[in-house]
Amino acid sequence: MRIVIAEDSVLLLDGLTRLLTAEGHTVTGYRTADELVADLGDPAADLPDVVVTDVRMPPTHTDEGLRAAVHLRGLHPRLPVLVLSQYVEQRYARELFAADARGLGYVLKDRVADVDDFLAALARVAAGGTALDPEVVAQVLARSRRTLSDVLSPREREVIALMAEGRSNAAIAERLVVGLPAVEKHVTSILTKLDLPPDADDHRRVLAVLRWLEDGPTNGARP
Amino acid sequence: MSTTIEAATAPPLPDEAPLADDVRVVAPMLTGGRALGLAPVSGATWAGAGQIVLAAAVSLAASVLLVTGVALGVGLVVLVVGVPLLVLTLVLARGYGAGERARLRAQLGVVVLPPAPGPGAPYHPRTWWPWLRDARSWAAVAHALLTCLLAWTAGSVAFSLAAFALVVPAAPFAGRVNALHLVLLVPGAVVALWLAALVVQLTNLAQVRLTRTLLGGRSRAEAERAARAAEQRADVAEDRAEHLRETRTAAVVAADEERRRIERDLHDGAQQRLVALGVELGVARRTAAQDPAAAVAAIDAAHGEVKEVLAELRDLVRGVHPAVLTDRGLDAALSALAARCPVPVDVDAQGVGDGVGPQAQAAAYFVVAEALTNLAKHATATRATVRAAVDGDRLRIEVADDGAGGAHTAPGGGLDGLRRRVEALDGTFHLVSPAGRGTVLTVEVPCAS
């Protein structure tokens, strides 16, 4: 894959470049969000397979990376972007995922250290899937105006959290160390209980689940 | 939030009526017009006449009593009993004064504010001397005598004139009166009547002014002086409150900026290094089986990262609060700062620390730390001195170098933050840094902070 990274920390940029190069990818690194936008801001630009960007970068060290990501997605709706952040906030996630969750990721920078997980998330985003950090999912679950425990079994709650992160059924099965049919059974049960379309694919069901969690209790919930 | 200093607001001026007000109340005929035309039958004249009669009686009795008391007291001073007798007389004079003020209020509706109370109850010889020196009491004695003089003199004149004016209408019945007499006497009676009213009103005016002067409260000038002093105190208090508001806000801002700086340092430094470290270790684990050489290289890099993170955290922690300051005191902490400075620094802080509060010590430490950092960064200095000394209840710190000068406290800069920190402790901050002639930073903070 051709990967573009925007990251102001030289150390981390070096580490990621080495890691991804060793995996056989081609990596281009930028130190600021402006450079990233300058390079990919042209509608006719030669797009990489995936963009990885830090949120906080020069010159203001606030949310340049996030704004660059939103801007680039506006120009190239199909461009996969994985946003790395020192802190993950539900608010930022909602801004980023406002239009579409396809080919989008938003994960805590620390996850990079879990190399296998990081590479899996990167591959998922590059393939048009979704990667939402477990911390954001936890925030959504904690702030959810619906009490999941009334509706779902403990196992189903584990499964819905992994679904919200954007994982496929196979990935969920691997994570929970159960068979694929068992996961499929849980997913069907969850979608039925929450009254969500059963045929939704991975990235679409992320949004469906998140929307269900954020909506008020009277809206389509079945006890 | 606003701070109001209640105690410092100026007291209102005493309601001391100016002359024009007294004229309006007790001598309205002087203002002319209707009051002049109706002067003989006006309330002011009749109330004034009553006042003169009563004043004549009261002041005569008071004069006799007080003059006797004073004369006896003075005469008996050599026998010691004279002194308490004099004091008693003066106490009575004070009482007379209070009675007179009440009488004027009742008879004329004129309010005379009382003076400051006398020197206290005269039960103890200790208070006698203050009583003897009490000008207001002696003024009351003088008031009795002068009132006696005024009331009897003016009263006689006024009643003579009034009597003349009343007798003239009776003249035709006494016979032997011709037209010429009538032509002269009737206008004369009218003039006498108005003159009597004039004398009554003027006497009352004089009486009121006399009472205000001798039995009244403090004078307008005194009151104005007191009001000015109170205003000045209020201004000083207001300035102080303003200063406290500013420095308090500045202290909050400085603390906030400091927290933000620490967050930035942690974010840009330790956190990034730890993430990179995680990546290195992740790569090592991933490649350990297939490519042991690459794994070892990654572990080496990770090891280097760990050491740098530790060094960085150590610096950061020292910037938050230096342990040596708590453990070994200001002298040791300043010496440690000097030792880390690339420029040779002489430290003179012998024995400073006893009786100096932790906030003052910390402020001193960070002032010196920032000054030495700046010096190492910009000043091209070859030597520097750091002096700390306790001067009375102030801790005084001076950092001087022989560098290029031109240092200034840019808003938001390190020196500016320190200035606010020092000012929040009620300290002073002086930076003298002429271009080309070195830099001297002098800071004073109260030891107690």
pLDDT tens digits for range B358-368: 888 888 998 99
**Do A100 and A47 fall into the same domain?**
yes
pLDDT of amino acid B103: 92
Alpha carbon B434 to chain centroid distance? 39
Residue A54 covered by a domain: yes
A to B CB pairs, distance under 8 Å: 54
**Do B67 and B130 fall into the same domain?**
yes
Beta-bridge partner residues of A106? A83, A132
Cα–Cα distance for residue pair B189/B334, rounded to 1 Å: 102
State the total domains in chain A: 2
**Do A86 and A111 fall into the same domain?**
yes
Contact status of A177 with chain B (Cβ, < 8 Å): no
Q: DSSP secondary-structure letter at A83?
A: E
Query: What is residue A84's three-state secondary structure?
Result: strand
**Do B283 and B405 fall into the same domain?**
no
Name the residue in chain A with its Cα closest to that of B294: A22
Residue B175 has pLDDT above 70, yes or no: no
Cα–Cα distance for residue pair A6/A27, rounded to 1 Å: 11
pLDDT in tens, A91-146: 778 778 877 778 899 999 888 888 888 999 999 999 988 898 888 888 877 777 66
CA angle B95, B97, B100 (to 5 degrees): 115
Contact status of A199 with chain B (Cβ, < 8 Å): no
Residue A220 covered by a domain: no
**Do A164 and A113 fall into the same domain?**
no
Inspect the interface and report whether the beta carbons of B282 and A118 lie closer than 8 Å.
yes
Inspect the interface and report whether the beta carbons of A12 and B264 lie closer than 8 Å.
no
Query: Which residues in chain B touch residue A61, judged by CB atoms under 8 angstroms apart?
Result: 264
Residue A77 covered by a domain: yes
pLDDT in tens, B228-286: 888 999 999 999 999 899 888 888 888 888 888 888 888 888 888 888 888 889 888 88
Residue B408: CATH number of its domain: 3.30.565.10
**Do A148 and A204 fall into the same domain?**
yes
Query: What are the tokens at B211?
Result: 């009472």
Cα–Cα distance for residue pair B141/B90, rounded to 1 Å: 8
> How many Å lie between the alpha carbon of B310 and the closest alpha carbon of chain A?
16
State the total domains in chain B: 3
| Residue at token pair 């190239």 | A76
DSSP for B266-278, please give it: HIIIIIHHHHHHH
Q: What is the mean pLDDT of residues B422-426?
A: 87
Question: What type of residue sits at position B33?
Answer: G
Query: Which residues in chain B touch residue A117, judged by CB atoms under 8 angstroms apart?
Result: none
**Do B202 and B264 fall into the same domain?**
no
Cα–Cα distance for residue pair A21/A40, rounded to 1 Å: 21
Query: Which residues in chain B touch residue A16, judged by CB atoms under 8 angstroms apart?
Result: 279
Q: Which domain holds residue B283?
A: 253-319
Name the residue in chain A with its Cα closest to that of B267: A86
Residue B18 has pLDDT above 80, yes or no: no
Identify the weakest region by mean pLDDT among A22-31, A77-86, A155-164, A195-204. Answer: A195-204
| Residue at token pair 């109330």 | B47
Cα–Cα distance for residue pair B207/B203, rounded to 1 Å: 6
Residue B378 covered by a domain: yes
Contact status of A113 with chain B (Cβ, < 8 Å): yes
> How many Å lie between the alpha carbon of A38 and the closest alpha carbon of chain B?
24
Q: Say which residue, A88 or B88, is predicted with more confidence.
A: B88
Q: How confident is the model at residue A2 (pLDDT cuts 50, 70, 90)?
A: very high
Name the residue in chain A with its Cα closest to that of B269: A9
pLDDT of amino acid B322: 84
Residue B271 covered by a domain: yes
**Do A44 and A108 fall into the same domain?**
yes
pLDDT in tens, B292-336: 888 898 898 889 889 988 988 888 888 888 888 888 888 889 998
> How many Å lie between the alpha carbon of A121 and the closest alpha carbon of chain B?
15
**Do B71 and B181 fall into the same domain?**
yes
**Do B343 and B270 fall into the same domain?**
no
Provide, rounded to the nearest whole percent, the portion of chain A with pLDDT above 70: 92
pLDDT, chain A, mean: 84
Query: What are the tokens at A48?
Result: 């990489």
- Confirm if B207 and B151 have CB atoms less than 8 A apart: yes
Question: What type of residue sits at position B247?
Answer: T
Among A7, A8, A9, the strongest candidate for a mutation testing the B interface, having the largest count of B CBs within 10 A, is A9
Cα–Cα distance for residue pair B101/B92, rounded to 1 Å: 14
**Do B286 and B427 fall into the same domain?**
no
Contact status of A110 with chain B (Cβ, < 8 Å): yes
**Do B315 and B333 fall into the same domain?**
no
**Do A163 and A128 fall into the same domain?**
no
Query: Which residues in chain B touch residue A18, judged by CB atoms under 8 angstroms apart?
Result: 283
Contact status of A117 with chain B (Cβ, < 8 Å): no
> How many Å lie between the alpha carbon of B276 and the closest alpha carbon of chain A?
5
Among A13, A19, A62, the strongest candidate for a mutation testing the B interface, having the largest count of B CBs within 10 A, is A19
Beta strand spans in B65-156 (E): none
Q: How confident is the model at residue B172 (pLDDT cuts 50, 70, 90)?
A: low
Q: Which domain holds residue A173?
A: 144-214
Contact status of A30 with chain B (Cβ, < 8 Å): no
Gyration radius of chain B's alpha carbons: 44
pLDDT, chain B, mean: 84
Residue A221 covered by a domain: no
Question: CA torsion sign, B292 to B295 to B301 to B304?
Answer: negative
Domain stops at, among B263, B288, B319: B319
Report the 10 Å Cβ neighbour count for B335. 16
Query: Which residues in chain A touch residue B264, judged by CB atoms under 8 angstroms apart?
Result: 61
Q: Say which residue, B20 or B426, is predicted with more confidence.
A: B426
Q: Say which residue, A69 or A200, is predicted with more confidence.
A: A69
Domain stops at, among B195, B218, B241: B218
Residue A53 covered by a domain: yes
pLDDT of amino acid A216: 52
Q: How confident is the model at residue B43 (pLDDT cuts 50, 70, 90)?
A: confident
Query: What are the tokens at B421?
Result: 């920190």
Query: Which residues in chain B touch residue A19, judged by CB atoms under 8 angstroms apart?
Result: 279, 282-283
Query: What are the tokens at B269?
Result: 């430094």
pLDDT of amino acid B379: 62
**Do A151 and A100 fall into the same domain?**
no
**Do A102 and A152 fall into the same domain?**
no
**Do B306 and B214 fall into the same domain?**
no
Residue B15 has pLDDT above 60, yes or no: no
Residue A95 covered by a domain: yes
Helical (H) or strand (E) element with B120: none
Report the 10 Å Cβ neighbour count for B239. 10
